[in-house]
Amino acid sequence: HPAHRSADGGFHREGSRAEAGSDDDAGGDRRQAEDQLPEKRPVVLAFGFFDGVHRGHQAVLQACLQLAREKKAMPVAVTFYPHPLTVLLPSASIQLLLSESEKEELFKQMGFETTVVISPTEEFLGQSAGRFLQSLSRITSLCGIVTGENFTFGKNAEGNAELLNSYFLDKGVFIQIVKLEKAEGGVISSTRIRKCILQGDVKKAGYFLGRPYRICGDIIHGFRRGTEVLGFPTANLKPERERAVPGDGVYATRAFIRGRQYPSVTNVGTNPTFGNKERSIETFIFSFDEKIYDAPFALEWIEKIREEKQFPDIEALRRQIEEDIKRAKQILEV
Ligand code: RBF
Ligand code: MG
């Protein structure tokens, strides 16, 4: 597996797993940064949390791939998981745009053979910016670092791109700071994309991401009502915890099951017509086949169609769903 997982924020060679909190360099620990990356081959690192791997992140990652080609070095995406905030504040719930494995998969698709996933500990996050830089400078194979202009590091985010630049100025490490990508009157950021998704604007989120927003999940059993009362059997998606879910409403979606695409329509909400207590995500696949409801399932959110509403009776809801399907087919061009 190409990902090198690090339990304490050090840069470890594959297989040299470390105990969290034990990398005190004063003790001459063996797991020092210089012997932590896969090989002695020169490396160019792209640093970031990269939640979403949106168009701004893609610019940073492409710059890293390009620099690595120029330097005949290995490009390495260095990222963090879980979110540093949830380490410092366990009660914080942050709604992420990608799971860890989805993020790694996107790096791979872009051309990164190697990813380092740092699982940040409180110690790692509490270290000074200076100490973070020192540990980087001990990687003898390091020949370049690429980050976005808003990258920060060290305790209280005291280190920034400028400090990174000045620190490495005379050390033979090329630092490239990539400008933030802008669209529709603002900078593209994970926070902005999360807001779009929560507000139901999945179309704009997809534009900022450079691909439709996608959620993978397990199928859970829903209410039999879908089949028996309405005549629209639905697959119920249960996303993993801490995942950004589009706001309540009806959406044109594409379901992916065992590598196949299925145009579909998805309702998010509490089904006010029936007064459910729990929020559900229910997908009706147009070309329904019993068998496909038992497989892992990914959903791409293309465009919102309408708000979820309370209908006076089941027949009125059923007629509206027929309209939703027509509209979704137009949007999905099927
Ligand atoms: N339930 C509602 O109470 N109000 C809605 O506006 C609504 N819209 C839906 C749109 C679609 C395309 C689908 C598939 C379901 C919708 N539902 C809505 C959910 C419906 O009540 C639910 O699928 C059945 O009750 C079975 O759980
Ligand atoms: Mg169902």
The per-residue pLDDT for 12 is 43
Tell me, in angstroms, the distance from the centre of ligand 1 to residue 71's CA: 56
Q: Which atom of ligand 1 is nearest to the CA of 265?
A: 12
Question: What are the phi and psi torsion angles at 31 (to 5°)?
Answer: -85, 60
Mean pLDDT of 228-240: 84
Q: How does the average pLDDT of the chain come out, rounded? A: 87
314, 315, 317, 325, best to mutate for ligand 1 pocket (most atoms within 8 Å of CB): 317
**pLDDT cut 70: percent of the chain above it:** 85
Q: What angle do CA 21, 25, 27 make, to 5 degrees?
A: 100
Owner of token pair 């500990």:
121
Q: Is the beta carbon of 145 within 6 A of some atom in ligand 1? A: no
Q: Check residue 233 and give its pLDDT.
A: 84
Quote the pLDDT of residue 5.
53
In the prediction, which pLDDT does 4 show? 56
pLDDT at 102 over 80: yes
pLDDT for the residue 28: 35
Contact 116, 79 (CB under 8 A): yes
What integer pLDDT is reported at residue 15 of this predicted model? 31
Please tell me the predicted confidence (pLDDT) of residue 144: 97
Q: For ligand 1, is residue 309 a contact (CB within 6 Å)?
A: yes
pLDDT in tens, 160-213: 999 999 999 999 999 999 999 999 999 999 999 999 999 999 999 999 999 999
Q: Is 232 close to ligand 1, i.e. is its CB under 6 Å away?
A: yes
Choice between 327 and 224, residue whose per-residue pLDDT is larger: 327
Between the CA of 230 and the centroid of ligand 2 the distance, in Å, is 11
- Distance from the alpha carbon of residue 223 to the mean position of ligand 2, in angstroms: 5
Q: What is the pLDDT of residue 226?
A: 72
Residue 170's pLDDT is 93
Give the position of tokens 């009157």: 185
Nearest atom in ligand 1 to the alpha carbon of residue 328 is 12
Instruction: For ligand 1, say whether the CB of 324 is within 6 Å of any of its atoms.
Output: yes
**pLDDT tens sequence across 89-99:** 988 888 999 99
Tell me the CA end-to-end span of the chain in Å, nearest whole number: 38
111-167 pLDDT, tens digit per residue, is 998 999 999 999 999 999 999 999 999 988 999 999 999 999 999 999 999 999 999
pTM for the model stands at 0.88
Q: How confident is the model at residue 39 (pLDDT cuts 50, 70, 90)?
A: low
Find the range with the poorest average confidence among 5-19, 53-67, 131-145. 5-19
Residue 235's pLDDT is what?
Answer: 85
Residues 119-141 as b/e (b if ≥16 CB within 10 A, e otherwise) read: bbbeebbebebeebbebbeebeb
Give residue 148's region: left, alpha or beta (phi > 0; psi -120 to 50). beta
**269-305 pLDDT, tens digit each:** 999 999 888 999 999 999 867 666 667 889 999 999 9
Q: How confident is the model at residue 241 (pLDDT cuts 50, 70, 90)?
A: confident
Mutational test site, ligand 1, from 237, 266, 273, max ligand atoms within 8 Å of CB: 273
In the reported structure, the alpha carbon of residue 198 is separated from the centroid of ligand 2 by a whole-number distance in angstroms of: 22
Q: Name the residue with higher pLDDT: 139 or 12.
A: 139
Of residues 145, 153, 141, 124, the one with CA closest to residue 49: 153
C-alpha 311, offset from chain centre: 36
